[in-house]
Structure 1
Amino acid sequence: MHLFPSLPTPPPLVSILDWLSSIHYSQPGETTPKVIYLLWQIWKTRNEKVFRASSPWPPATCSKAINDFTAWNSCPKVPRQLPPPPNQPRAIRSHLLPPPSNPNLVIHCDGLFLHDSQKATYGIVVFDSHGDICDGKADTILCSSPIEAEAKALLEAVRYAQDKATPCLIRWTVFP
């Protein structure tokens, strides 16, 4: 099965956002959402391999991505304004994450508890005043509950802010 027969290979040292932007503008239509669903499914498959020791089968990953895309594509769409063309990459990043009104860093953090293993993962992503990613951290830790996983993610964000000795805005992500 060839999900993307004409999909360009990402050039070396190009961010995923810039690569997706170039695909979006060079291949309009359904290509960008398909690529996003494929990348999301690859990430989920990777997590299954790492945290549940599964044995992934690449065609199944592609099939799941196609099914997810098809389900999404059948939903009614709400019109939205598209970001500017790819010759303005900073504007695209700013569209996806509006920069803060002050020059401080913005730290996003989240934790995930894995019930089967009594472990958790957390991650922090640091954005500069332009909305560009400038740092981050992720780790796996021993943990006993979802609340503890979220608390440890927040703690790592606070520690990062303390180490930088600059005012930071911390945004905590909570998913149901």
Structure 2
Amino acid sequence: METTEHLLFLCKWTKRVWQDPIFEQIRPNNSINRTDQWLLTAFRRDQNLPARELISLILWNIWKARNNRIFRAKEPQPADLLLIAKEQQYTLSTGRSTKGERALNQNSPTHWRPPEGQNLKLNVDASWRPGDFLCSVAGIARDAAGRVLDGFAATTRVSSAAEAETQAILHGISFLHELKPNHVRDLGSPSGSYFIESAFSLR
């Protein structure tokens, strides 16, 4: 049975991703049974650990590879996944694409643009299938360097695509009220300015 832990860490091809030496200190073992507990360890501010955004991108690309295998019969390529994640991390931190990243995004007309100065940007999205009463909303907050500071995910009841997108934005606003005391002081921003971008996918 597929569990979150099996999908992200214990599947035979997923294990090959985590075998890279960069993950030596946080490499999940066969006894892992709580993804959230593992993330708490992986996201600690330790200079010897990989950057949090790289870990997030690894998990995101594992999820995409899983969907490509199920829905497109495309076999995952563990050796390429870490390279793709590093290219994406470079793009987020510099605003410039490497050759591999441009190829990865050649069909996507939208590119993330960092906020100015010490402002933060929150990107939100929603996923809803016509006929369903539930949708998923999520968002991530990043600074001008593209560093992931925090994020949220939730499930809510909707009846239309427009309502799903609106719920994503409303959840984002609520999330910012909770995020503000945790990060504005660290960033040294007296104004505490935030921007919300919404990208809605109808599936």
The two structures have a TM-score, normalised by structure 1, of 0.54
Partner of residue 94, structure 1: 93
The answer to whether the 8 A contact 2:53-2:148 is kept is: no
Is residue 199 of structure 2 the alignment partner of residue 173 of structure 1?
yes
Is residue 122 of structure 2 the alignment partner of residue 107 of structure 1?
yes
Once residues 173 and 51 of structure 2 are traced to their aligned partners in structure 1, the CA distance between those partners, rounded to angstroms, is 27
* Change over 3 Å in CA distance of 1:18–1:138 after alignment to 2: closer
Q: What pairs with 1:109-148 in structure 2 (closer than 5 Å)? A: 109-148=124-163
Is residue 65 of structure 2 the alignment partner of residue 41 of structure 1?
yes
Aligned-pair CA distance for 1:171:
0.8
Once residues 130 and 71 of structure 2 are traced to their aligned partners in structure 1, the CA distance between those partners, rounded to angstroms, is 27
Is residue 19 of structure 2 the alignment partner of residue 9 of structure 1?
yes
| 141-150 vs 156-165, which moves further | 156-165
Aligned-pair CA distance for 1:20:
10
Secondary structure of the 1:135 match is: strand
Once residues 137 and 8 of structure 1 are traced to their aligned partners in structure 2, the CA distance between those partners, rounded to angstroms, is 25
CA offset digits 1:126-173 (Å, max 9, x no partner): 102321011000111111111111000011112223442721011111
Structure index of larger Rg:
1
Secondary structure of the 1:65 match is: coil
Q: Which runs of 5+ in 1 are unaligned?
A: 22-35, 46-59, 70-82
* Change over 3 Å in CA distance of 1:160–1:19 after alignment to 2: closer
More helix by share: 2
Aligned-pair CA distance for 1:115:
2.7
The answer to whether the 8 A contact 1:3-1:62 is kept is: no
Secondary structure of the 2:176 match is: helix
Partner of residue 34, structure 2: none
Once residues 113 and 127 of structure 1 are traced to their aligned partners in structure 2, the CA distance between those partners, rounded to angstroms, is 25
The answer to whether the 8 A contact 1:102-1:129 is kept is: yes
The total of aligned residue pairs comes to 130
Q: Which runs of 5+ in 2 are unaligned?
A: 1-11, 27-41, 43-49, 78-83, 96-111, 182-191
Aligned-pair CA distance for 1:15:
5.3
Once residues 120 and 62 of structure 1 are traced to their aligned partners in structure 2, the CA distance between those partners, rounded to angstroms, is 20
**Identity percentage of aligned residues:** 17
* Change over 3 Å in CA distance of 1:20–1:142 after alignment to 2: closer
